Each structure stands twice: as C-alpha cells, then as structure tokens.
Amino acid sequence: MAKAKMLVDKNFKLAEVNKRVYGSFIEHLGRAVYNGIYQPGHPAADEDGFRKDVLELVKELDVPIIRYPGGNFVSNFFWEDSVGPKEQRKPRLDLAWRTLETNEFGLGEFAKWTKKAGSDIMMAVNLGTRGIADALNLLEYCNLDTNSYYSNLRKSHGDKEPYNIKTWCLGNEMDGSWQIGHKTALEYGRLAAETAKAMKEMDHSIELVSCGSSSVDMSTFPEWEAVTLEETYDYVDYISLHNYYGNAANDTEDYFAKTQDMERFIQTVIATCDYIKAKKRSKKTLYLSFDEWNVWFHVMASDSEAMKRKPWQIAPHLLEDHYDFEDAILVGLILITFLKHVDRLKMACLAQLVNVIAPIMTENDGGAWRQTIYYPFLHASKYGRGVALQSIITSTKHDSSQHTDVTDIEAVSVFNEEKDEVTIFAVNRSVKEDALFESDLRSFEGYHVIEYLALENDDMKLTNSIAGEKVAPYARTDYEFQDGIFTTNMKKCSWNVIRLGK
C-alpha cells in the first residue's frame, strides 16, 4: 500500500510565505479583459463597466498582485494609446495574438479595477519594440506626482493620485523566438540593466523583475539566466520563471510527476542566481518570481488555427482551456512545490485569471463560473498564509513513463501564528492506490481539526461549466486525530487540505 509519514513541527520553520505567491495575471488576450473583467452593458456590470460577478470571484480568491498588460502582448504595446478620453483612443493591431485591440480599456481602467479587486499591479514594460525612454515615460505617468509632462498627463486624465506601482517586469519572455523584438541573452541583459538603472533613478521605491527563461525546456536555459544576470544582477530584485504544463499524451501518472521538472527548474535558477552572486562578490540575494504558471494545452492547436484563419478579431475565444479534474490535481501539486521554496520564491502569478487559461470563466450573455483549478488555488490563497514549515516527509514512490522515484504523496504545511492555525496541503498522486497518511503534529498542543477538505474523483476528465460544478471540494470526516497524530486514508488522485486550530 502507498503510505507517507509527515512531521509537522512548529519549530522547523522554512520561511514566511509572501502572500504575493498567490498572484495572477490579466493580459490583453482573448476575452480576459473584454467580456471578462470588463463588459459595459452586461447586467452584472457596475458604473465603470466592470463585471461584478467576476469581481466577486476574484475577491474570493484574494489575489494580492496581478500582472498586466502581458505577456506577449506587452512586447508591442503602446501604452499612450490606452489612456485619456476613450473616444480619442486608437485601435491597434496586436501581433502577439493577431487580434484587434480597441484600447477602450487601458491603464487607468485597470488601476481602478485592481482597487476594486483589492489587488496591486505588477506592470510590465515593452522591451520588445520599445526601450528605456518609453519605460521611463510610463513610470512617470504611473508613479510620479511632479509638475512634469507625463505626471501632468495622468492628472489631466482624471487620476490626480499616482498609481504607485511597486513591481515592474523588464519585458516579457525575451528569450523566446516568438516574442516581438526577441533578443539574445546579451542584448537583453544590456537593455534590461540600463532600463533598470534609469527606472530606479526615477523612482527609488520600485522593485524590478529581470526576464528569465520561458520554460525549463528552452535550449538556452540556464545560460540565459547566467548571461542576463551578469548584466542585471545589481539593479534588479527578482528573476522570472515561466512554465506551462499539459497532458497531451493522456498519461495521467506521468502528468502528475511533472512537478519534478518544476523542482529542477526552481533549483537550477536558484543555483544560477547564487553563482552570479558569488562571482560578483555581491551581498545581495536575488529572489524568484514564477510569474507565469498553469496548465495550458487543451486548445493550443485549435487556437493557432483560429489565429491564422480569422485574424484581427476583437476579444475572440482564445486560450479558453476547459479544465478537468486531473488539471486541478496538478495545480495543487504546483502550489505545494511553491510552498516548499518560499525561502527564495517570493512571487508567482497563476496565468491567467479570467477566461484565458483561467480559474474564472464568463459567458458573454450569462454568468461567471469556477473552473476545477479554482479550488486548489482558493485553498492555498486562503489557508496558505503564515510561515511555511519544513516538509519532513517520507513517502512510498513509483516510476512513471518519463520520471523516476516519484513520491506518492506530496505535502507541505503552513503555520499561521496570528490565527493559531496550521494547514497541511497534500496530494496523493498515485493513480493506482489510496495511501495511508500519518502526520505527527504533537508540537501543536491543544489543537483540533477544524476541517478536512478534499477534491476526489475517479473520472480524471470531469469538468465544471456554467451549468454546475461537478468538481468541488467536500468535507471529509473519516480521519483520526489522537494524541497529536492525524491519520487518514488519502484517496488516489486527490487534493487534501487538513486544517487544525486551537
């Protein structure tokens, strides 16, 4: 039988979980903005045209930071077209997704929307077709309260107070040949370093993210990190990681093993950062921003076809992956992987938030609904705040078609000292066996089980829709908690959230 033993000890602290690991992403892509977060005329729209049904779901997820406006979109984005009186805004061709951008919704609207959502903005600058001057103009427009051109321009557009955007990405996926204005590592490193220096000269309060690799499978990984950081290390605070996962081979066992690749990715980036740190005799430690991650594969092929056949549409249905039960399990595994690295991983963005590879979907003529992946993200965001404890766990293992020594159980725990609560997040990724899970929580004296939530199903391909949620968590009661030892039979292919409190 598969089994695992986990020691959860309040004294073995890994690091504080930065709430920004529960960030997300809104790109001008498909129906993320138009008919997603913004749809004037929809019965649920508020006075600004923002969909209240979507805002409610976003607020439920409690997303502390949202990356904007791309993604690939940002690499030919002319932000000036997206501000000022709407009737004067210019429509533009978006080459990344071959759509027509009306610019009806822009920077000012997004700043207003994020306020309503209770989130901060992570803003990306265009280092594809533009450069230092444009990044500075944008920064002045967003953050400065000076009697100068761009600061005054924002005020003339009705926003007296600066947006005070703290976190800025220096371009997007500049290592990718698909990127408009793609660069070699040295070209990017030089441009990013000079842009960073100038931006920090203008606003000392900002923090910057240098572009890392677009996936662990890029042929330039990890040389890209080493070469670019050699240039940017002194001027930036984070390096980005992006990776999407999929089960195109329909091999669930191997799909669930893919967080091993993510582990390798994270560890290699940390090692590369520390190599540059050592080389530069630097005292500064660089942190990781996994600012694009998710499952993305269901509609990839049909999307490329649609972009070829029917270009220059406004808000077409693109990247609308309809997630199933096994995707939710993988998302749970990814979140556990993040929590095991919060000593270096300080930000992460679930890509994306609404309609585009998203936990939240909308009907143009109807309501909003939760995809399967909504739930593990919700649980982690709600209960995964506090101090991540070191994962001391032994588990039985198996091999999958492409991976070896895959642990049956993956688990991590987070101690919220303020609330006197501790939560265990666990996945049984065995597709064959239930597992006996035992956790020693004796250091949490006087604690009791608040609830044990689980996502379980035998049908890996089950999905949710506007008609109803076939995949939703339920409360389990068949566990034992005696003398500080928690025991349960963890179902095969399951996501488990065990919450204890005083």
Query: Catalytic residues, which ones?
Result: 173, 292
473 sits in which H/E element: none
What do you get for the CA distance between the two ends of the chain, in Å?
33
Q: How many CB atoms lie within 10 A of CB 291?
A: 28
Cis geometry, peptide bond prior to residue 69 (ω within 30 degrees of 0): yes
Residue 344 exposed, middle or buried by CB count within 10 Å (0-12, 13-18, 19+) = middle
The residue (of 24 and 488) whose beta carbon lies closer to ligand AHR is 24
Q: Establish if 36 lies at the interface with ligand AHR (CB under 6 A).
A: no
CA distances from 341 to 131, 148, 350, 373, 412 (A): 33, 43, 16, 21, 10
Contact 411, 393 (CB under 8 A): yes
Q: Establish if 473 lies at the interface with ligand AHR (CB under 6 A).
A: no
Question: Which of the stretches 46-54, 65-73, 111-119, 187-195 binds ligand AHR when contact is defined by CB under 6 A?
Answer: 65-73
DSSP secondary-structure letter at 23? E
The residue (of 253 and 292) whose beta carbon lies closer to ligand AHR is 292
Rounded to the nearest whole angstrom, what is the least distance from the CB of residue 292 to ligand AHR in the complex? 6
Judged by CB under 6 A, which of 4, 27, 286, 329 binds ligand AHR? 27
Judged by CB under 6 A, which of 102, 172, 232, 430 binds ligand AHR? 172
- Which of 332, 370, 337, 334 is closest to 354 using CA atoms? 370
**Sign of the CA dihedral with 59 first, then 414, 341, and 229 last:** positive
Q: Establish if 71 lies at the interface with ligand AHR (CB under 6 A).
A: yes
Contact 65, 347 (CB under 8 A): yes
CA distances from 357 to 334, 335, 371 (A): 15, 17, 10
Q: Establish if 434 lies at the interface with ligand AHR (CB under 6 A).
A: no
State whether residue 483 is helix, strand or coil: coil
Interface with ligand AHR (CB under 6 A), residue total: 10
Contact string 281-300 vs ligand AHR (x = CB under 6 A) = -----------x--------
Rounded to the nearest whole angstrom, what is the least distance from the CB of residue 118 to ligand AHR in the complex? 23
Nearby residues of 179 by Cβ (< 8 Å), 6 or more positions away: 72, 75, 128, 172, 173
Length of the chain: 502
Rg of the Cα atoms in the chain: 23
Q: How far apart are the C-alpha atoms of 109 and 33, rounded to whole Å?
A: 10
Contact string 225-264 vs ligand AHR (x = CB under 6 A) = ----------------------------------------
Residue 224 exposed, middle or buried by CB count within 10 Å (0-12, 13-18, 19+) = buried
State whether residue 486 is helix, strand or coil: strand
Q: Establish if 321 lies at the interface with ligand AHR (CB under 6 A).
A: no
Here the tokens at position 339 are 């929590």
Q: Establish if 70 lies at the interface with ligand AHR (CB under 6 A).
A: yes
The residue (of 292 and 421) whose beta carbon lies closer to ligand AHR is 292
State whether residue 423 is helix, strand or coil: strand
Rounded to the nearest whole angstrom, what is the least distance from the CB of residue 494 to ligand AHR in the complex? 28
The residue (of 351 and 453) whose beta carbon lies closer to ligand AHR is 351
Residue nearest to ligand AHR (CB): 71
Rounded to the nearest whole angstrom, what is the least distance from the CB of residue 176 to ligand AHR in the complex? 7
Question: Which of the stretches 70-78, 219-227, 275-283, 429-437 binds ligand AHR when contact is defined by CB under 6 A?
Answer: 70-78
Contact string 375-414 vs ligand AHR (x = CB under 6 A) = ----------------------------------------
Which residues inside 195-214 make contact with ligand AHR, applying CB under 6 A?
214
Q: Establish if 303 lies at the interface with ligand AHR (CB under 6 A).
A: no
Judged by CB under 6 A, which of 24, 35, 39, 72 binds ligand AHR? 72
The residue (of 352 and 381) whose beta carbon lies closer to ligand AHR is 352
Q: Establish if 173 lies at the interface with ligand AHR (CB under 6 A).
A: yes
Q: Establish if 351 lies at the interface with ligand AHR (CB under 6 A).
A: yes
Give contact residues for ligand AHR (rule: CB under 6 A).
27, 70-72, 172-173, 214, 292, 351-352
